[in-house]
Amino acid sequence: MCGIAGWVDLAGLGPDARAIAEKMNDAQVHRGPDGSGVWLSRQAVIAHRRLSVIDIENGEQPMLFPPSGPEARFALSYNGELYNHRELRVELAARGHRFRTSSDTEVVLAAWVEWGVRAVEHFNGIFAFAIWDDQEEKLSLVRDHLGVKPLHYHRDGDRLIFGSEAKAILAHPDVVTSVDEDGLRQLVLPLLKFPGTNPYRGISEVLPGQVLEFSRYGVRTIRYWDVRDFIGRPARADDLDSAVEGLRTLLHDAVARQTIADVPLCTFLSGGLDSSAVTAIANGLPGRTSPVSSFSVDFTDVADSTDSRSALDRRYAREAADHIGSRHANIVLDSHLLASGAVRDATVRARDLPNGFGDLDTSLLLLCRAVREHATVALSGEAADEILGGYLWFQEPRAVEAQTFPWMADSPAHGYLHQRVLSTIDPGLARQLRLDEYLRDEYATAIGGLTFDPAISARERRHREIIHLAITYFLPMLLDRTDRLSMAGGLEVRVPFCDHRIVEHLVTLSRHVHNAGGREKGVLRDAVADLLPPGVLERRKSPYPTTPDPDYSRQLDRQLTEVIADPPDGLADIFAPHVLTPGGLTDAARSHGLVSNFEGEVVLNFASWLRQYTPKLAI
């Protein structure tokens, strides 16, 4: 994986363009510690930071076409992995293209030269890239089908600035670090990522499955893939056996493609169904000569616990690893390090924002750092729950029937997190932001864009609606979290369940096939039944673990006391007076649930963000 950045100024670049581009590159050094490059023309700056995964010796970027000569027409800065680059290389070679490297970057560039914007129709992978056409004076920003890789931009008249992360754009001297009311709404509404937006004023995201073109004619967007095109179709007439076989074939192919790398590769193995399935398939691929390495996360001071989430994960992960035959390691995180201010600051900096999930985020960052000592690429089981309806809020009546995002409904599923964070917000600010109205409008927009075949029943339609909401508002939050924290740890994470072919297959299956045998994700359980031990195969969904160590809560109490005694500018504008009163959050900060210490974590994250980014709050 890599980091991309740059800008186009149709009026022409200034004399300090290269120095600014280097500064933008430096802001994303964590995404590409293995090298950097900057290319300039009269109107465009294309910059790149590289993490070498395929063709380590070659593949430097920006990559140009033609590759030699006084002037290049195309300049490409690419972040991602093209999993079908070998097949495309053969096809493009037959069309006359000649390759100097074995990198997938060169295949992307050749495909663009051959097919233009329609090249994306040939791609299978995770990617975000910028390509400048010096002949047509046009910049194209391209993002993968599900938005696994991030891509942000800021437009100011005849200039468009872009970067993998917002921090690269904010490094440009002409971009102000500012958050307005819309941005604050996004920051204080947990468990949602609003499509195409970013809390920083003037910064947007290229949508998943979208190409954004910028030229003298303005901005044009092209949607080359949209899950809505499949959500509304009638359920396929395939029987369960055909659905299972189709999923099995696609999942094996996706994992096989995603294990191609010129660097050490491993898997995340929590002992849950999804990560165990990916690990089992990866370990059993033809031609593998040694066991795949797998890693799970654990915490200190839980040795005698048998019912914490980390203890359950530890037991199931070991059971899965023993059955699969992977070379497994349990990464044990120390609670003192987990609670340290330095790790919190690094986590907030990695995400660019304060709306994270406390020790769920810090533990993922530390896990990725530890795994990076052994591997550069990791496979994850993420996204299966969103596509297959694996969460409680796909089944619980109150969540299913609620006229809002179901995970934010007043239910035990996740909704209480929504209420807990809103209880910390200053009442005057909450009234000013009109959060309930904002949420209703966003939900209506999300649902209103769907159309369904008339033959789909009301219950099936609602199931499809929730899948759509999960893929477009919930999954992007998780993918962004994983990308930011893994890249901050120098690790590339691949997600086989985000293969767009798997998504297309699964979202057109009926709810009854999804829940075959009366079990959530029943079709997946049947597809991998021969690969996993019974206990893991039948395990119910378990949330990502959180530390049960009471000393972690005590450390947060001390940190909250320090923040309240010396709050950064802006903190009192966001949080209610009782929250910033000594002892006001003591009980809440020690609470344990889906996210432990939640209220205290929110305050500490915002304090870290305000100190590091010093944003202008337009409220």
Short-list 119, 15, 6, 134, CA closest to 62: 6
User: Could you tell me which residues are beta bridge partners of residue 433?
Assistant: none
Phi (first) and psi of residue 138, to 5 degrees: -140, 130
Short-list 144, 163, 145, CA closest to 153: 163
Encode 271-297: b = buried (16+ Cβ within 10 Å), e = exposed: bbbbbbbbbbbbbeeeeeeeebbbbbb
Distance in angstroms (rounded) separating the CA atoms of residues 120 and 95: 17
Contacts of 407 (CB under 8 A, 6+ apart): 191, 391, 393, 399, 413, 414, 415, 470, 474
User: Could you tell me which residues are beta bridge partners of residue 125?
Assistant: 82
CB atoms near residue 444 (< 10 Å) = 12
Query: Could you give the C-alpha distances from 164 to 80, 203, 204, 213, in angstroms and in order?
Result: 11, 12, 11, 16
* Amino acid (1-letter code) at residue 279: T
Catalytic residue list contains 2: yes
Cα dihedral sign, 167-169-172-176: negative
| 260, two tokens | 């191609």
Longest Cα–Cα distance of the chain, Å, equals 71
Scanning the structure block, which residue is given the tokens 């044990």? 332
Distance in angstroms (rounded) separating the CA atoms of residues 431 and 599: 20
Scanning the structure block, which residue is given the tokens 């219950």? 459
Candidates 2, 266, 368, 498; catalytic one: 2
How open is the CA angle 29-32-33, to the nearest 5 degrees? 75
| DSSP output for 310-365 | HHHHHHHHHHHHHHHT-EEEEEEEPHHHHT-HHHHHHHHHHHTSS-S-THHHHHHH
Distance in angstroms (rounded) separating the CA atoms of residues 129 and 31: 14
| 190, two tokens | 């947990």
Short-list 344, 271, 269, CA closest to 610: 344
Contact 106, 47 (CB under 8 A): no
Mark out the alpha helices in 566-617 (DSSP H runs).
Answer: 571-574, 586-589, 598-613
Residue length of the chain: 619
Scanning the structure block, which residue is given the tokens 């496979």? 379
In the structure, how many helices (H) and strands (E) does the chain have?
27, 19
Mark out the alpha helices in 412-549 (DSSP H runs).
Answer: 415-422, 427-433, 435-448, 458-469, 475-488, 500-507, 511-514, 522-527, 534-537
Catalytic residue annotation: 2
